[in-house]
Amino acid sequence: MALAAATLLPFRQYRNQGTSIEQAKQQLLELEQRRSDLESRIDRAADKEIIEREARKQMSLVRPGDELFRVVVPSDVIDLPQAWYLPGVEYLITGQSK
């Protein structure tokens, strides 16, 4: 019995190591893919056209000579809370202040 246990123990450890190696290989592949994706995002982030497009979209930045249009919402449609924390927002949205 002891001989059988002594023979099977190294085999079980060998088999478990094989599983661990396969899991580590899979994790390495996933990390390499993620790294590749992040590197491509870095490359895109350095592109001046993309920077300008995102600045225009997210921050409403304009270039000199561009026409800026503002959509005005009627004051009776919007009802901001009394404790609104950004002064001037009502004017920006409705074009009127209280």
Domain limits for position 88 = 68-98
Residues 74 and 40 placed together within one structural domain of the fold: no
Residue 82 three-state SS:
coil
pLDDT, greater one: 34 or 75: 34
Whether the CA torsion 56, 59, 63, 65 is positive or negative: it is: positive
CA atoms within 13 A on the CB side of 42: 6
| Residues 74 and 35 grouped into a single domain | no
pLDDT band at 86 (very low <50, low <70, confident <90, very high): low
| pLDDT score for 25 | 92
Predicted confidence (pLDDT) at residue 2 exceeds the cutoff of 70: no
Whether 26 and 49 share a structural domain: yes
User: What are 98's two structure tokens?
Assistant: 């209280």
Higher pLDDT: 40 or 5? It is 40
| For residue 69, pLDDT beyond 80 | no
Considering the domain architecture, whether residues 61 and 83 belong to the same structural domain is answered as: no
Please give the Cα distance from 97 to 91 (Å, whole number).
5
The total of structural domains in the chain comes to: 2
* 49-66 pLDDT, tens digit each: 888 888 888 777 888 888
Q: 52 with 98, same domain?
A: no
Per-residue pLDDT band for 18 (boundaries 50, 70, 90) equals: confident
Confidence at residue 66, expressed as pLDDT on a 0 to 100 scale:
84
- Same domain, yes or no: 38 and 83: no
pLDDT recorded at residue 76:
67
Residues 72 and 62 in one domain: no
